[in-house]
Amino acid sequence: MPELSQQSCTACSADAPKVTAAEKQALMESLPQWELVVLDGEEQLKRVFTFKNFAQAQAFTNQVADLAEAEGHHPAILLEWGKATVRWWTHKIGGLHKNDFIMAARTDALY
């Protein structure tokens, strides 16, 4: 199986399964900078990326947005001076799908 960052999202439907606890634990080993959070009852992956200024954070944000649009899978991104906070989860299943781990790894590859 290729590295997470070499994979692309798969189409997922509202009845797609969330990752299991065992899958989560294994996948998180590839994402040491990310944390698992629960917001509005939905489990998500979160990482804060830091930059020297707003312009660099904005450029990174745009790269992540372009990646998301290309993959048809979209994050929440908070853009601030010197920081971009990225959260990945799958809206239609209200939690984490393997796609979210793939996109987190692809986000790391942009940094």
Ligand X SMILES: C[C@H](O)[C@H](O)[C@H]1CNC2=NC(N)=NC(=O)C2=N1
To the nearest whole angstrom, how small is the minimum distance from the Cβ of residue 78 to ligand X? 15
8 near ligand X, judged by CB under 6 A: no
Cα 86 to Cα 77: distance, rounded to the nearest angstrom: 5
91 near ligand X, judged by CB under 6 A: yes
Kindly determine how many residues on this chain lie close enough to bind ligand X according to the rule CB under 6 A: 6
18 near ligand X, judged by CB under 6 A: no
DSSP assigned state of 82: T
To the nearest whole angstrom, how small is the minimum distance from the Cβ of residue 55 to ligand X? 26
46 near ligand X, judged by CB under 6 A: no
Nearest to 93 by CA among 2, 13, 4: 13
Name which of 51 and 73 has its Cβ closer to ligand X: 73
Cα 53 to Cα 40: distance, rounded to the nearest angstrom: 30
Query: How many CB atoms lie under 10 A from the CB of residue 96?
Result: 22
In the region spanning residues 50 to 79, those forming contacts with ligand X, defined by CB under 6 A, are 72-74
90 near ligand X, judged by CB under 6 A: yes
* Residue 50 C-beta-side C-alpha neighbours within 13 Å: 1
Residues near ligand X (CB under 6 A) are 72-74, 90-92
